[in-house]
């Protein structure tokens, strides 16, 4: 019957309780890993909702909250090529010109670093990314699909040579074959990049897959001094859960956004992540204050966060564009029609 004797020693009981201790876990429940860094991407990922048309006051509020919360990096937007994207169609945070950033940030706090994202094949990186000493930016994050890796590596080298910290954010890996991921990681491991990000662009990954991929990424960069990061989307309400799954097994760079704001279903909420992290440098209250004063009013005008159409595209491992289109239309809550359409297209 497998029942336990009432005379079982307390040491045996202790052993029974520790069966679940996770062999892959780096660290314990009570300590923290000081090498874990938070990368806020509220303004950058949130800008995908409104073509980056945030006013200066909003960006400053996010910056102030990040500094007060102890956030390590804040991403202010993209370095998009103005020959591809007309500046008249977008807000300032699509381009992150130095004067725009300096106007808002002023004298940068010593505790925080700033980053911009540079999309492979959409960035005039040789010209638009200045030498680091001439920029308020500290870090360039190169976003790439699997077929753009050679371009991305060249961008990484360019940014590295200009003095920046760098990350490579390999997008949409939920649709990439294992062998190609391994190939990409081998190439990345030989580049000067500082951090390689596991990016769940479609919000399609489950915790098992996040664990498996994070460990695969860690194995690939073992001994190089590089870090692994995680950027999750909330289509299946797993952005936060997947972020802590990745960090438990060793990811040290964690993307998050205030109130989970970001394209479609949004991202890992910064406030939840700070609640989980035990490093006393992180503070929850300034983030809550910013949500209450800035994000609640904004949410009346702009939609983000989990809803059924995003769940469906995440579940189907597809780009959220169809869900975004539905949520912007008059039939935003016709879940059954959206389900039927998506399943039929499969």
Residues between 273 and 302 that touch a second copy (CB under 8 A)? 275-276, 284-285, 288-289, 291-292, 296
- Type and span of the H or E element at 77: strand 73-78
User: By the 8 A CB rule, do 202 and 171 touch?
Assistant: no
CB 122 within 8 A of CB 97: no
Residue 58: strand, helix, or coil: helix
What x/- string results for residues 154 through 183 when contact with a second copy is judged by CB under 8 A? Answer: ------------------------xx-xx-
Specify the residue, 128 or 175, whose C-beta has the smaller distance to a second copy: 175
Interface stretch with a second copy, choices 52-60, 77-85, 92-100, 336-344 (CB under 8 A):
336-344
CA–CA gap between residue 80 and residue 138 (Å, rounded): 17
Per-residue binding string, a second copy, 2-41, x by CB under 8 A, is xxx-x---x--xx-xxxxxxxxxx---x------------
Residue closer to a second copy, measured from CB, 136 or 198: 198
Q: What are phi and psi of 256, to 5 degrees?
A: -155, 160
Q: Which of 53, 97, 128, 315 binds a second copy (CB under 8 A)?
A: 315
Residue from 144, 167, 242, 267 touching a second copy (CB under 8 A): that is 242
22: left (phi over 0), alpha (psi -120 to 50) or beta: beta
Q: Residue 80 Cβ, how far from a second copy at the closest point, in Å? A: 32
How far apart are the C-alpha atoms of 75 and 42, rounded to whole Å?
7
Rounded Cα distance between 168 and 170, Å, is 6
State the minimum distance, in angstroms, from the CB of residue 49 to a second copy. 20
- Site size with a second copy, rule: CB under 8 A: 73
Structure tokens at 272: 């939840």
240 binds a second copy (CB under 8 A): yes
Interaction between residue 120 and a second copy (CB under 8 A)? no
208 binds a second copy (CB under 8 A): yes
Q: Does 255 bind a second copy (CB under 8 A)?
A: no
Closest CA to 229 of 187, 286, 168: 168
């Amino acid at each position: 019957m497998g029942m336990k004797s009432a005379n079982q020693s307390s040491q045996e009981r202790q052993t029974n309780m520790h069966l679940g201790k996770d062999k892959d876990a780096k660290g314990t429940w009570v300590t923290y890993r000081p090498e874990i860094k938070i990368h806020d991407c509220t303004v950058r990922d949130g800008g995908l909702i409104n073509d980056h048309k945030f006013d200066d006051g909003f960006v400053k509020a996010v910056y102030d909250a990040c500094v007060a919360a102890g956030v390590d990096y804040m991403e202010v937007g993209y370095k998009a090529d103005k020959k591809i994207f007309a500046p008249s169609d977008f807000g300032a945070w699509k381009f992150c010109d130095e004067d725009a950033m300096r106007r808002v940030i002023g004298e940068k706090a010593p505790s925080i670093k700033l980053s911009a994202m540079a999309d492979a094949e959409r960035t005039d990186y040789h010209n638009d990314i200045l030498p680091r000493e001439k920029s308020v930016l500290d870090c360039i994050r190169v976003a790439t699909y699997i077929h753009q890796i050679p371009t991305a590596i060249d961008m990484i080298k360019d940014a590295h040579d200009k003095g920046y910290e760098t990350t490579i954010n390999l997008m949409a890996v939920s649709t990439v074959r294992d062998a190609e991921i391994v190939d990409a990681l081998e190439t990345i491991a030989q580049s000067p990049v500082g951090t390689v990000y596991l990016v769940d662009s479609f919000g399609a990954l489950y915790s098992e897959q996040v664990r498996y991929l994070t460990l695969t990424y860690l194995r690939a960069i073992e001994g190089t001094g590089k870090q692994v990061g995680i950027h999750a989307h909330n289509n299946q309400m797993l952005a936060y859960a997947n972020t802590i799954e990745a960090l438990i097994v060793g990811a040290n760079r964690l993307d998050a956004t205030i109130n989970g704001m970001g394209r479609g279903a949004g991202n890992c909420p910064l406030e939840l992540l700070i609640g989980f992290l035990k490093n006393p440098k992180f503070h929850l209250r300034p983030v809550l204050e910013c949500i209450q004063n800035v994000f609640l009013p904004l949410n009346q005008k702009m939609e983000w966060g989990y809803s059924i159409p995003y769940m469906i595209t995440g579940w189907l491992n597809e780009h959220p564009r169809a869900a975004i289109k539905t949520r912007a239309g008059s039939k935003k809550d016709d879940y059954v029609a959206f389900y039927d359409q998506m399943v039929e297209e499969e």
